[in-house]
Structure 1
Amino acid sequence: MNEHFENHRAVLDIVRRFERMVDSQEPVFFDLEDFENIIDHYVTNAEFEKALQACEAALGQYPFSTELLIDRAQVTAMRGDYQEAERQIDEVAALDPTNADVAVTRGIISTQRGEFALAIEFFRAGLEQEPEREDIHFNLGLAFQSWQKFKSAAKHYKQSLRLNPDNETGVQELLHCLDVTGRLEEHEDFFKGFTDDDPYSATAWYNLGQYWYRREDFAKAAESFDYAVVISPDFHDAHHWLADTFVCQQEYKKAIPEFEQAYPLGEPTDEALCNIGECYEKLREWEPARRYYRQALEINPEMDEAWFGQGVLLQEQGRWFEAIHYFRKATELYAESGEYWSALGAAENQVGNVVSALESYEKATEVAPDDVQGWISWSAILYEQGHFAEAVELVHHAVNLHPHEAHFHYMLCAYLLADGRMREAYNTLETALTLNFDQHTLLFDYFPALREQPGLKKLIEQFRK
């Protein structure tokens, strides 16, 4: 068993014990190292309130620990209370002025404040004292990345990973920086190097899987994640990513057993259950899909994805009235999803609630203006209602978003014809025919009455030659 995962499991056990003691208001006693692990766990998961609570409990037991005082100052900064964080780190500096973590903490505060040049000065000062600190390189990466200096950020993330390949966040941030700068392909050897150095490291294979996943080479990603779980069968995150890779390849039956191993035995997560539900939905196995979505909601009643998933199940079965309830709940829980609003609009339209449908599509385009589907669906309803000029205006948005997509030009042509704007319609049709002649049949699929338009027929025949 990989030592990293044994340690990770031990830390989770300590965190659970700490939380049980806090919940039952029992006295909390832990070794200093255990407290450090608890605080680090919460910080890694961005649970800063819990991290601060752990800091206070630890300082109650070890009031003179410089490490804990520094932890508390850093967590305070991450919560956004910069003045208090500075006051706390000044107190530590008075007690221990040569401690490299004083400079690191000041760097973290400056990064949080958006003072990136100053942050980098502090982190570099810390590196001068302790040049092999992977966390300082990682923080330098974050500061450069926040400053939009992605190449410099990548350099420090790489050094951080050379010193500690187990930093999963570092892998994700490095991949993002390489992606942004178009340098993913040239870093294949960097990620392969970890598996070459230690072919029995589950983390090395996991990191290589992340690399191939980001490259969208899902076959190689699946192979890498598979090695990771063979080496460490309890590597739950690797099972999750292997499952996700199968989903990307539309291999839903293979994904299900991997999602089932993406959590500790008997401790399913709402995310894993929802993912399994979605796999069954894609397989059109409605009953198990519904069951898993409901189990996800039992764990987390506010999981918008599970509400939406149940709506999709009902929609696929033509049960539109029931689907509306679930789509509406999804939009209440997460109102920033254009997909949710569009689905609600479609369901409302199916049952004849035209006004509600129009309102939903308007909301869809408001929260996701770059999503074509909202504009197209909204325009189609207006066209059906005889509001041709408004339909033209809306489908223009789709054309502007995707000017080389003939489909939208054909729709615009039909709407312009309906609005009596013949010259514009024929100009638009010429553009559509130039982009993709074969798609001209869409005009007649959508609008059968146009088959009788002699002008249209003539223009189409000219392009056929």
Structure 2
Amino acid sequence: MQLSHNEENNFSLTRFESMLKTNDVLFFDSEEFEDIIHHYLENGKIALAKKAVKLGLAQHPTSTNLKLFKVEILVFEDKLDLADGLLNELHTLESSNEEIFIQKANIFSKRDDHKKAIQMLELALEITLDTADVYSLLGMEYLFLEDFENAKLSFMQCLEADEEDYSALYNIMYCFDFLEQKNESIDFLNNFLNKNPYCEVAWHQVGKQYFDLKQLDKALMAFDFAIISDDYFIGAYLEKGKVLEKLGRYNEAIENYKITLDLDDPTSFAYLRIGKCFEKLGLDEYALENYSKTVHEDPLLDKGWIAITDFYFKKKNYQKALYYINKAINIDEENVLYWKRFAKINSRLNFFEEAERGYQKTIELGNYELETWIRRCDILINLGEYETAIQNLMQAIEFYPDSAEIEYRLAGLYFNLNEGDKGYFHLNNGLKLDSEYYIIIEELFPQIFSRKSVKEIINSYLKTS
């Protein structure tokens, strides 16, 4: 009985590995060595691939393909000069082998000379029978150069040569997205679908484009066609669920998300969306159940912890909200979103020192939103920490030099510290920026606002504005 190609490969691999263990020397033809090396390279077993190349060349010293595998390994190991030298030898012997130009391109690419790499690949294109792979490599080189138009065209030619190369299709969509060519991408996908009406990936991609353009009915239809083309396509069910959510059809969205749980291992994203839908439907118990499954499935997904925290915050159950945000911080204490909520919840509970710590941590982690500086300042004012409040605002003013909210607060703080000159300076700055915001002084510093001199300055600006 004749062996199939896969069985032959397995037999060759078994013999080869047996030979390595016993140190016996067995003979393999060059094609067997090529299959063995290819298998090891595909599986990332570089050391075994190197052994196979060495033994293969010992038995077949004139094999060009085995030498090209040696080049591939040398390039992988960044031994570029050795690889280049070997390629030059091969080129003099076999100038019409496209793999020589492809490996030359690989070396130029490794040296960040992507224009030379493109030249080599264009030479390979003239002699290759497998244009799809070369166009794909060309596309990647153009991406390195951030030449998205030529990258897009190369991937299009790759897809034309091999209509099942979905990585090329994804790369085309990446180029369209970067170039912000939404309508052009839809035209391209629709033309592709005219020739390939059952391509689930193309339906999925066109659906995403329509979703971004807020053409939800068209998006829904596209995802339906993706599911018709492949009813095991999890991505299509997830995207369809998102569209149904946007349309307010929460029960249908839940059904689509639930299908993904049956098709494959459950995902935290599906549980989160199901929880959101139940919350919108007012089914709190089911919402919390799915939020709990979200964080159980992926404790590092911040959106899960935030969903639970926000759920209780909206219900004004601040103690429960604080409990869950503390759990989240224990898992990831570098998450800015957690600390912002920590500060906000503690403010509602009148735990001002903890709230201030939360805002301070938020700033330390690089959140420089004006609201964060302002809220921290107002808590420090409440705590009587005027000098720290000033330090906080002086940092903020570096990012927001023309903020009336900062200037009025600085004015009030300096007046409180009996530094009148600085107080008047910042009060005038605030009034120049926005005279209507003087209410900040009235609300935060009523005793300062009641001063005659302060009122006179404010009134003089209000009359002229």
Work out whether the TM-score is over 0.5.
yes
Q: Which moved more, 1:349-358 or 1:307-316?
A: 349-358
Cα distance in 1 for partners of 2:255, 2:355 equals 38
Aligned AA (2:405): M
Cα distance in 1 for partners of 2:273, 2:105 equals 39
Q: In the alignment, does 2:151 pair up with 1:153?
A: yes
Alpha carbons of 1:427 and 1:227: their partners in 2 closer, same or farther (altered >3 Å)? farther
8 Å contact from structure 1 (residues 138, 156) kept in 2: yes
Q: Deviations over 1:22-70 (max 9, x none)?
A: xxxxxxxxxx99x999998xxxxxxxxxx4159969x99xx97999998
8 Å contact from structure 2 (residues 408, 430) kept in 1: no
User: Pairwise mapping of residues 176-215 of structure 1 onto structure 2 (< 5 A)?
Assistant: 176-215=174-213
Structure 2 partner of 1:119? 117
Task: Give the drift of 1:329.
Answer: 3.4
User: Pairwise mapping of residues 390-401 of structure 1 onto structure 2 (< 5 A)?
Assistant: 390-396=391-397, 399=400
Aligned AA (1:324): I
Task: Give the drift of 1:106.
Answer: 5.2
Percent identical = 18
Task: Give the drift of 1:366.
Answer: 4.7
Structure 1 partner of 2:232? 234
8 Å contact from structure 2 (residues 412, 441) kept in 1: no
Task: Give the drift of 1:322.
Answer: 0.5
User: Pairwise mapping of residues 269-280 of structure 1 onto structure 2 (< 5 A)?
Assistant: 269-280=267-278
Q: In the alignment, does 2:380 pair up with 1:382?
A: yes
Match of 2:266, SS state, is coil
User: Pairwise mapping of residues 53-202 of structure 1 onto structure 2 (< 5 A)?
Assistant: 81-83=77-79, 100-101=98-99, 103-104=101-102, 107-108=105-106, 110-111=108-109, 114-130=112-128, 133-164=131-162, 166-202=164-200
Task: Give the drift of 1:414.
Answer: 3.8
Ranges in structure 1 where 5+ consecutive residues have no aligned partner: 1-31, 41-50, 404-408
Aligned AA (1:428): G
Match of 2:265, SS state, is coil
User: Which of 340, 343, 348 is the aligned partner of 2:341?
Assistant: 343
User: Which of 393, 406, 409 is the aligned partner of 1:412?
Assistant: 406
Match of 2:259, SS state, is coil
Match of 1:234, SS state, is coil
Structure number with the bigger relative contact order (C-alpha 8 A, sep ≥ 6) is 1
Cα distance in 2 for partners of 1:427, 1:380 equals 19
Ranges in structure 2 where 5+ consecutive residues have no aligned partner: 1-33, 57-62, 416-422
Cα distance in 2 for partners of 1:282, 1:225 equals 23
Match of 1:82, SS state, is coil
Cα distance in 1 for partners of 2:395, 2:248 equals 33
Alpha carbons of 1:302 and 1:331: their partners in 2 closer, same or farther (altered >3 Å)? closer
Task: Give the drift of 1:136.
Answer: 2.9
TM-score when scaled to structure 2? 0.66
8 Å contact from structure 2 (residues 442, 449) kept in 1: no
How many residues of Structure 1 are paired with residues of Structure 2 in the alignment?
Answer: 404
Structure 2 partner of 1:20? none
8 Å contact from structure 1 (residues 271, 296) kept in 2: yes
Cα distance in 2 for partners of 1:343, 1:89 equals 60
Q: In the alignment, does 2:223 pair up with 1:225?
A: yes
Cα distance in 2 for partners of 1:451, 1:72 equals 82
Aligned AA (1:331): D
8 Å contact from structure 1 (residues 239, 259) kept in 2: yes
8 Å contact from structure 1 (residues 236, 264) kept in 2: no
Aligned AA (1:277): G
Larger Rg: 2
TM-score when scaled to structure 1? 0.66
Cα distance in 1 for partners of 2:176, 2:188 equals 12
Task: Give the drift of 1:202.
Answer: 2.7
Q: Which moved more, 1:223-232 or 1:97-106?
A: 97-106
Q: Which moved more, 1:100-109 or 1:260-269?
A: 100-109
8 Å contact from structure 2 (residues 310, 321) kept in 1: no
User: Pairwise mapping of residues 26-65 of structure 1 onto structure 2 (< 5 A)?
Assistant: 51-52=43-44
Q: In the alignment, does 2:293 pair up with 1:295?
A: yes
Structure 2 partner of 1:428? 430
Task: Give the drift of 1:389.
Answer: 2.0
Aligned AA (2:270): A
Aligned AA (1:415): R
Aligned AA (1:261): I
Task: Give the drift of 1:392.
Answer: 2.9
Task: Give the drift of 1:234.
Answer: 1.9
Cα distance in 1 for partners of 2:70, 2:427 equals 66
Structure 1 partner of 2:242? 244
Cα distance in 2 for partners of 1:134, 1:250 equals 43
Alpha carbons of 1:203 and 1:349: their partners in 2 closer, same or farther (altered >3 Å)? same
Structure 1 partner of 2:328? 327
Task: Give the drift of 1:123.
Answer: 3.1
Task: Give the drift of 1:415.
Answer: 1.4
8 Å contact from structure 1 (residues 311, 324) kept in 2: yes
Cα distance in 1 for partners of 2:74, 2:331 equals 34
Q: Deviations over 1:99-150 (max 9, x none)?
A: 5445445545654664433433343333233376334323322222222222
Alpha carbons of 1:423 and 1:176: their partners in 2 closer, same or farther (altered >3 Å)? farther
Q: Which moved more, 1:307-316 or 1:145-154?
A: 307-316
8 Å contact from structure 1 (residues 315, 323) kept in 2: no
Structure 1 partner of 2:420? none
8 Å contact from structure 2 (residues 274, 290) kept in 1: yes
Cα distance in 2 for partners of 1:76, 1:274 equals 47
Cα distance in 2 for partners of 1:232, 1:396 equals 56
What is the RMSD of the two structures over their aligned residues, measured on CA atoms?
5.0
Aligned AA (1:210): K
Q: Deviations over 1:148-178 (max 9, x none)?
A: 2223222223333444455554444434433
8 Å contact from structure 2 (residues 288, 308) kept in 1: yes
Task: Give the drift of 1:228.
Answer: 1.8
Alpha carbons of 1:168 and 1:198: their partners in 2 closer, same or farther (altered >3 Å)? closer
8 Å contact from structure 2 (residues 40, 48) kept in 1: no
Structure 2 partner of 1:28? none
8 Å contact from structure 1 (residues 382, 391) kept in 2: no
